Amino acid sequence: MSVGIRRVGVVGGGQMGAGIAEVCARAGLDTVVCEADALAARTARERVAASLDRAVRRGKLEPSGAEDALAHLVFTGSLDDLADRQLVVEAVVENADAKAEVFGALDKIVEDPRAVLATNTSSLPVMRLGMATGRADRVVGLHFFNPVPVLPLVEVVSSLHTSADTVLLVEDFATRALGKTVVRSQDRAGFVVNALLVPYLLSAVRMAESGFATAADIDAGMELGCAHPMGPLRLADLIGLDTVASIAESLYDEFREQLYAPPPLLQRMVEAGLLGRKSGRGFHTYDRV
């Protein structure tokens, strides 16, 4: 591997953070996952271990590979443990203030001025996060897709301040170290994929909201009529309805076009805690694991 990045940090051990940590560990990288506290860190470890176990049961990974991946992982409740990292990927809640706070802290903690601070944001401005640091040229968007161990795409997003060297470094890292395919995007809300995908999901929500068709029929129509592997409402459930709503709000704030506005039904479901697969109920119901 030509890139020099061997020590990776991940801030946040939820669905996305755990997935990012897993692919880094499976690539043989020294990976430290930081959560809010020791209890959350243990939960993150259990999440990664369960994902590795599923990969083994499905024949996608040898048992020895799962053991090796876990050996490359450390879980902590302290950001200070990321001081020696060469790359830190932020994967906390999709909230601009929360993310900016993390970047401000990392700027003080991560010792190497050449280290890259990356965000896994789905839609928030990368430049705003870079400006929370004193090294905006080393801040970049590195947006993975869920489930991270399965989906091959990564969006690399450069702000007006991100240096060309930083972009090349993370692109090389994503392709050579992690085996991902990279698409580049400018720093606009939604980037490439969500700017196209989310209006489609919102249109499906509006169709269900109006009573035009049921969630099951909407999804069946797109799966069987358009050969989509998953219908739009089931996909929204997989992404998380709170995340879909957050992306929609970011898109609407930037473009002020009605097709990006989150429908009232989506907002009410988020308020009710009906977030999709992760909560056991969204537009469809799921067994909680």
Please list the active-site residues: 122, 143, 155, 194
Query: In this structure, how many other beta carbons lie within 10 angstroms of the beta carbon of residue 118?
Result: 28
Q: Please report the sign of the dihedral spanned by the C-alpha atoms of residue 2, residue 140, residue 124, residue 274.
A: positive
Count Cβ atoms below 10 Å from residue 46 Cβ, excluding itself: 13
Q: What are phi and psi for residue 154, nearest 5 degrees? A: -135, 135
Pairing of β 30-34 and β 73-76? parallel
Please work out, in degrees rounded to the nearest 5, the angle formed at the alpha carbon of residue 139 by the alpha carbons of 127 and 122: 65
Residues 224 and 222: their CA atoms lie apart, in Å, by: 6
DSSP three-state, residue 132? coil
* Phi, psi for residue 142 in degrees, rounded to 5: -135, 85
The two three-digit tokens of residue 199, written as one number: 């209006």
Helices 38-57 and 63-71: crossing angle in degrees, nearest 10, is: 160
